[in-house]
Amino acid sequence: MATKHIAVLVGSLRRESYNRKMAKALMAMQPSSLQLEIVEIGQLPIYNQDLDENPPREWIEFREKVKTYDGVLFVTPEYNRSVPGVLKNAIDVGSRPYGKSVWEGKPAAVMSVSPGAIGGFGANHHLRQSLVFLNMPILQQPEAYVGGANKLFNERGEISQDSTREFLNTFLRTYASWVERFPEAGQR
């Protein structure tokens, strides 16, 4: 089975971001069938339709890069019960020009990570709303609302709790099988 290359989009720019730590923890435990890579989004100028005729270099590079991946894994915090602006901006940038969305058909998974008890449920589902419109087949189960993120990582950024590691393993393996169902996604 060929390794599937997965773009990981992290919805936080914070230096000590729990979501980035989670993305790295997932990378450290990825099955051999997946190759996860963080694709940065903080450099993208805010989307403005006026710029579509002569798009910023960062938009072009981002779009070209995302196109090459077989799937997209979103790891995001919740801001005010919704998706952080930086992540929504990346989604908007990738979705244009109209008819040439780089998200089209790419199998996705969503994980929300928060210190709060409800694990970013609101962001997770607001994000799913956009992904439905963008025609990204989204992994349904297991849902991944990770709460208590402030107590999850040790000083090396590792997750020590066995039950959480077990869950993350299941999540990754199920996503790996999901991605296999869409063999053409990397050529779009």
Ligand X SMILES: Cc1cc2nc3c(=O)[nH]c(=O)nc-3n(C[C@H](O)[C@H](O)[C@H](O)COP(=O)(O)O)c2cc1C
Q: Cα–Cα distance between 72 and 93 in angstroms, integer?
A: 15
171 lies in the binding site for ligand X (CB under 6 A): no
Among 30, 95, 101, 114, binds ligand X (CB under 6 A): 114
Q: Cα–Cα distance between 141 and 174 in angstroms, integer?
A: 8
Q: How far is the CB of 24 from ligand X (least distance, A)?
A: 12
Among 7, 8, 9, 17, binds ligand X (CB under 6 A): 17
88 in Cβ contact with 96 (< 8 Å): no
Alpha-carbon 103 to chain mean position: 12
**Footprint on residues 47-106 left by ligand X (CB under 6 A):** 77-81
Exposure pattern of 83-111 as b/e (b: 16+ CB <10 Å)? bbebbbbbbebbbbeeeebbbebbbbbbb
Q: Checking DSSP bridges between strand 4-10 and strand 144-146, what pairing results, if any?
A: unpaired
Q: How far is the CB of 68 from ligand X (least distance, A)?
A: 26
Q: Cα–Cα distance between 124 and 126 in angstroms, integer?
A: 6
The residue among 18 and 103 lying less far from ligand X, judged by its C-beta, is 18
Which helix (H) or strand (E) element contains residue 75? strand 71-76
Q: How far is the CB of 123 from ligand X (least distance, A)?
A: 7
Q: How far is the CB of 23 from ligand X (least distance, A)?
A: 9
Q: Which stretch binds ligand X (CB under 6 A): 10-18, 26-34, 59-67, 165-173?
A: 10-18
The residue among 81 and 100 lying less far from ligand X, judged by its C-beta, is 81
Handedness of CA 22, 112, 42, 92 (dihedral sign): positive
Among 8, 12, 168, 175, binds ligand X (CB under 6 A): 12
- The binding site for ligand X (CB under 6 A) comprises 12, 14, 17-19, 77-81, 114-116, 120
